[in-house]
A and B are shown apart, each in its own frame.
Chain A
Amino acid sequence: MSDTSIYVVKTTANQERSVANLIAQIARKDGYDIRSLLVPDVLKGYVLVESPAPEIIEQAIQGIPHARTVIKGSSTFDEVEHFLTPRPAVVGIDEGAIVELISGPFKGEMARVKRVDAAKEEITVELFEAMVPIPVTVRADHVRVLSKDEVQR
């Protein structure tokens, strides 16, 4: 098991999945010893490849569109393990925090967090601009935390 390392392939932004699919296709067809490919959402422009040697990946990515280079050096599995367990979207959002909505019909609006539902990864906010305080439930990954101010509740 420990004979493999994780190598990083640089790709064009937003083409990570198509590059991973093509590498997998070529690895199966030509029998390259590539064991898995990992595309974490937080790592834009890179594909992580599990293989015993970087030369194998260099050969495999020849001719694959949007795949640029194999980055020199390797990572251990422990270094990339945290990508396999994505952290919940509500981490870092507390009641009373000031957030900006970054998608949906209220995009660009500022709001204060009233409730956090960790299980559903949803938060209930009250928009600053609203005439009357109406609670709006939005997905936790649709907001950006501006201030963690919990005092002015």
Chain B
Amino acid sequence: MTEQACRECHRIVEGVVCPTCGSSSLSKDWSGYVVIIDPKRSMVAEKLGITLPGRYALKVR
């Protein structure tokens, strides 16, 4: 199954509901990929406003 991204928090999720925000608005049409390992010390996470480690999409349609 192709991976889907949450339209709300941009997280890449497996399944039908985003485990972070509980949204079921998912999209298969996403681009750009970010893996946040240490959100507290990462400048990328700070810029994107990400507080939880995980995989994210940069753009979700």
Contact = CB atoms under 8 A, between A and B. Distances in A.
Contacts of B59: 86
Interface stretch (A35-43, A105-113, A143-151): A35-43
Interface string B1-42: 000000000000000000000000000000111111110011
A39 B45 contact: no
Nearest to B30: A41
A35 B41 CA distance: 7
A1 interface: yes
A91 to B, nearest CB: 13
A35 B39 CA distance: 7
Contact of A39 (B32, B43, B46): B32
Interface in A25-58: 27-28, 33-41, 50
Contacts of A35: 36-38, 41-45
A36 B58 contact: no
Interface residues of B, number: 20
Give the dominant DSSP class at B's interface.
Answer: mixed
Given A1-B46, A4-B42, A50-B43, A84 B35 contact: no
B29 to A, nearest CB: 9
Taking each of A16, A34, A38, which has the highest tally of chain B beta carbons within 10 Å of its own beta carbon? A38
Interface residues of A, number: 27
A2 B55 CA distance: 23
A40 B32 contact: yes
A17 interface: yes
Contacts of B41: 1, 4, 35
16 contacts: A1-B41, A1-B46, A2-B43, A4-B41, A24-B37, A34-B37, A35-B38, A35-B42, A35-B44, A35-B45, A36-B43, A38-B33, A41-B31, A41-B32, A41-B58, A86-B31
**The 8 A-B residue pairs with the shortest CB-CB distance in the complex, in nearest-first order:** A35-B42, A39-B33, A37-B35, A36-B44, A35-B38, A36-B42, A24-B35, A86-B59
Interface of B: 31-38, 41-48, 55, 58-59, 61
